[in-house]
Amino acid sequence: MHIFLVAKRLISLKTDLRTIPESYQQLPIFFDGKNLFLAAIESTLKMLETIEKPIETMSETSSIDWDYLQKFCSQTRRDIVRMTNGVNSGHPGGSLGCTEFFVAMYNVIMKHDPKNFTMDGIGQDVFFLSNGHISPVWYSVLARCGYFEVGELATFRKLNSRLQGHPATEEGLPGIRVASGSLGQGLSVASGAALSKKLNNDSNHVFSLHGDGELQEGQIWEAAMFAVAHKIDNLISTIDYNGRQIDGDVDDIMPLGDLHAKWVAFGWDVLEMNGNNLQEVVDTMNEAKNRSGNGKPIMILMRTEMGQGIDFMMGTHKWHGVAPNDEQLKQALAQQEETLGDY
Amino acid sequence: MKIEIKDKKDTRSGFGAGLLELGRTNPNVVALCADLTGSLKMNAFQDEFPERFFQCGVAEANMMSVAAGLTIGGKIPFTGTFANFSTGRVYDQIRQSIAYSEKNVKICASHAGLTLGEDGATHQILEDIGLMKMLPNMTVINPCDYNQTKAATIAIAEHEGPVYLRFGRPSVPIFTNEDGSVSFTTNSKFEIGKAQMLNEGTDITIFATGHLVWKAIKAVEILEEKGMSVELINMHTIKPLDEEAVIASIKKTGCAVTAEEHQKNGGLGESIASVLIRNHPAPLEMVAVNDEFGESGTPDELMAKYGIDTPNIVEAAEKVIARKHG
């Protein structure tokens, strides 16, 4: 962790790599065949370069560093299980399932500026997480994209932390624009922010993510009508359609029926994708952006696997809100390679 | 204390007039309504600024969260619906998306209390002040007449942070100036968070809010005729409460009556009692609804039946003065 922080600091000071003290260059620890410090510098540089790439070039599939994105996913999955294990609480299941989505959004799809976060988000795309309980994946991706120090992930859910159990604005964590956790409110908030963009003649997008269990909240359907009535066509919302909620499978708890037909019937432009396939996420989100501005809000039904990437957490609802114990953490970490350095 | 009545108008029309003026002077002001545009007197704003007016239909929860979203980008949203649907129905939306998230939303609530009248208890919320004052970051304002409601509407646009503005349905006497100030026995301006002195006295203080301020003025006239020296303070801002003014007055008079169109539980009286107990204990009587729901009837009939009328204030004042001397 410290090596990466030092690396980031040196880079932020625009240090010439040749001036790095020899003692660092001769560290006896190796990673990927390189001195660990140089490997850290290289990977941090790569991360910063990706962030700073203008959106136009990043959106072109040919310029995307897929290998880096995969590594980012692996590291974020490690963060998720480590963060939840560290406080024996939190929601790893949905976080793991949405990892590719967040990594694609913040590295490829969204136009945003991690170093100059503003609440108003004018001139940028803005993102709302309505199912706030999957905060671990959001915090990990925000930190590793440069919104705040990666080391701060260690404070998740602890006293005096900015990383509240559910996202909040009160502590001023960059990247968060509204509190969420009590479900069903985010589609309305995103609709309001999208209207605000229109009033400001700001042509950027508003994105939101929702759980499928969350669709049982009536307010979602109030917002579904509102966004269509007001032709909020700069809004691109996504549903984490993993079919699971705290008490069991969504089909057993409160079935959603034909979800695609429901959103179409409400007047939305509906797309579907496999949320655990990076390429498909990038392609579909780009397609959604292309379709925006046509008088309709856009809804993406994103099929995911709760617990994706950790074998014993998949195929069940049981890891919705349960943290892995130390033994389970060990098993989980063995399945996801440390690529960008643990916090 | 003798007050000349300039006119009678409903406070909700003061809100409508204030909103229209804001539309003309502040391009960031936007308005949302949940199918009650006529009742809230928002038509003029809607007609003149259709691009800044958002009809939400009968979906108040969505309206509150949309308002929270509109602040992101610098808009100042004013939501309009009945007090019942502005608070109890949407408490969680206000709590999470507005109060906890510190959003600059102005929740404007009409038809508060019993004076809504014939619609009955389903619509006569008497708990809204309590609900709103419990929320951290929330400012709660309950102006007394048309002019003050208009002034308050304009003032809250300049006040950063969530605000609950409460007003009502019936026509009531207008006794403040256009800017919400008063200039009868005292000169006292309207300012958010500051108690407004209406009449100075030494035997008792009456702290009144909203529609009960006029009822209290009438009570002061009666009490003065009986030879008592009565201090009357308009507590238009219930949160943050002007504790300094409350303590200063009670140190002078030694006892108090509170008067409001709300439940005793959670209302202005409770807030004043808390200040007194923590700073300067003194006898206090509360004129407010006593833990019951309202019913259908005319505003005047309801005020009398539920004990929140001028005679009730007079009676409470005499009782509390006797307790002070007892």
Does position A50 have pLDDT exceeding 50, yes or no? no
Instruction: Tell whether B72 is within 8 A of chain A (Cβ).
Output: yes
Mean per-residue pLDDT over chain B, rounded: 97
User: A29-43, B42-56, B186-200: which range is least confident on average?
Assistant: A29-43
Q: Which domain holds residue A325?
A: 65-333
Domain assignment present for residue A342? The answer is: no
Q: Tell me what ipTM this predicted complex has.
A: 0.96
Q: Look at chain A and report how many structural domains it folds into.
A: 2
The answer to whether A119 contacts B64, with C-beta atoms less than 8 Å apart, is no
Residue B137 clears pLDDT 50, i.e. is over it: yes
Please report, rounded to a whole number, the percentage of residues in chain B having pLDDT higher than 70: 100
- d(CA B2, CA A128) in angstroms, rounded, equals 56
Closest residue of chain B to A132, computed from CA coordinates: B96
Do A30 and A152 belong to one domain? Answer: no
Confirm whether B60 is a catalytic residue. yes
Query: What token pair was written down for B263?
Result: 């439940």
Preferred mutation among A176, A200, A226, A228 to probe B, highest tally of B CBs within 10 A: A226
Q: Are residues A285 and A185 in the same domain?
A: yes
- Can you tell me the distance from the alpha carbon of A194 to that of A123, in angstroms, rounded to the nearest whole number? 12
At residue A28, does pLDDT exceed 80? no
Return the pLDDT at A33: 53
pLDDT value of residue B6: 78
Which pLDDT score is estimated for A26? 56
Q: What is the pLDDT of residues A236-266, one digit of tens each?
A: 999 999 999 999 999 999 999 999 999 999 9
- Given this model, what pLDDT does residue B184 score? 80
Q: Is residue A253 part of a domain?
A: yes
Instruction: Residue A105: name the closest of A275, A298, A229 by CA.
Output: A275
Domain-embedded: residue A178:
yes
Q: How far is residue A259's CA from residue B284's CA, in Å, rounded to a whole number? A: 59
Q: Is A256 found in the same domain as A154?
A: yes
What are the structural domains, with CATH classification, of chain B? 7-174 (3.40.50.970), 182-325 (3.40.50.920)
Query: Is it the case that residue B238 has pLDDT exceeding 70?
Result: yes
Does residue A298 lie within any of the structural domains?
A: yes
Q: CATH number for the domain including A185? A: 3.40.50.970
Residue where one domain finishes, among candidates A52, A73, A95 = A52
CA distance A238 to chain B (A): 17
pLDDT given for residue A54 in this prediction: 40
CB contact under 8 A, A121 and B57: no
DSSP conformation class of B140: E
A170 and A25 together in one domain? no
User: What secondary structure does DSSP assign to B98-134, as a single string?
Assistant: IIITT---EEEEES-SGGG-TT-TTT--SSHHHHHHT
pLDDT in tens, A101-148: 999 999 999 999 999 999 999 999 999 999 999 999 999 999 999 999
- Residues near B220 by beta carbon (within 8 Å), at least 6 away in sequence: B1, B199, B206, B230, B232
Domain contains A60: no
User: Would strands A248-249 and A126-129 be described as parallel, antiparallel, or unpaired?
Assistant: unpaired
Q: How far apart are the first and last CA of chain A?
A: 5
A343 in a domain, yes or no?
no
Instruction: Judge if A26 and A73 occupy the same domain.
Output: no
Interface test with A, best of B29, B54, B66 (most A CBs within 10 A): B66
- Residue-level pLDDT at B265: 98
The mean pLDDT of A231-239, rounded to a whole number, is 98
The arithmetic mean of pLDDT across residues B147-163, rounded, is 98
Query: Would you place residue A57 in the very low, low, confident or very high pLDDT band (cuts 50, 70, 90)?
Result: very low
Q: What mean pLDDT do residues B119-146 have?
A: 98
The verdict on A69 and A44 lying in the same domain is no
Residue B66 has its nearest CB partner, among A119, A197, A226, at A226
Query: What is the percentage of chain A residues whose pLDDT exceeds 70?
Result: 82
Percent of chain B with pLDDT over 90: 96
Is there a single domain that holds both residue A4 and residue A128? no
Rounded to whole angstroms, how far apart are CA atoms B1 and B221? 6
Indicate if the pLDDT at residue B258 is higher than 90.
Answer: yes
Band of residue B186 on the pLDDT scale cut at 50, 70, 90: confident
Residues A232 and A286 in one domain: yes
Q: Is any Cβ of chain A less than 8 angstroms from the Cβ of B35?
A: no
Q: Is residue A302 domain-resident?
A: yes
Q: CA torsion sign, A274 to A275 to A279 to A283?
A: positive
For residue A34, what pLDDT band results from cuts at 50, 70 and 90? low
CB contact under 8 A, B73 and A197: yes
The pLDDT, as a whole number, for residue B3 is 85
Same domain membership, residue A147 and residue A246: yes
